[in-house]
Amino acid sequence: MRVLLVEDDVSLSGFIEKGLREAGHQVELVDNGKHALTLCMTEQYDVAVVDRMLPGLDGLSLVKALRAAQVATPILFLTSLGGVDDRVEGLEAGGDDYLTKPFAFSELLARITALSRRQILKSTETKPELTYGDVVINLFEHSAMRQGQTLDLQPKEFRILELFLRHPGRVITRTMLLEHVWDIHFDPQTSVVETHISRLRNKLEKPFGDTLIQTVRGAGYKLEHKTTAGVNS
């Protein structure tokens, strides 16, 4: 998971960053609202953790600006402003969750994970087809094609490809795949995900000489086109 942490308290931000990295997440840390606004407008994050009292641009104004620009990144306010009116104000500004200081890191981690899953698995507007480059799947017919050629996908492989096509360029974790494809809400400690990803790659990539499903070490997978022609394996 890629997390943007917007916090100007050096000791606190260091503590949070260390904890998130130890949990296997990628963290980008900024200490002012203006820089955070620029990053959120140009980069893609799974979750943003935002303090309300920031230099340059306060957290509330930052979130309002992002929502006005149609940036849908899930946002968790992490702040010492814990009154009812403060929480309501933060949520009405476009925040998705609100956690007050002091806090337990385990709760922060759980809330960040929940926001990411909610966003990645949220159904988009129903369309009969989803496309990415020359890949097309028809949700009504449950069929998949690439370069006009039919892909013979098993039901689980189709579900995996559908999830990737709904969120191209975003990291899909193993946990998200287990929940979305198998409806499993715990780690069964098997290679079922890796096995199905391998089978899907053989059908989606091998005949066409390129790579679409990228492995993001320590995080999961993402759909991103990379040509492999001329590269020795």
First to last CA, the chain: 28
- Judge if 109 and 139 occupy the same domain: no
- Judge if 9 and 99 occupy the same domain: yes
The pLDDT tens digits along the chain (233 residues) read 889 999 999 999 999 999 999 888 889 999 999 999 999 988 888 899 999 999 999 999 999 999 999 888 999 999 999 899 999 999 999 999 999 999 999 999 999 988 887 766 554 445 678 999 999 999 888 899 999 999 999 999 999 999 999 888 888 888 888 888 887 777 778 899 999 999 999 999 999 999 999 999 888 999 998 754 433 33
Nearest to 175 by CA among 201, 199, 195, 193: 193
pTM of the model: 0.58
- Judge if 161 and 210 occupy the same domain: yes
Domain span at residue 169?
129-227
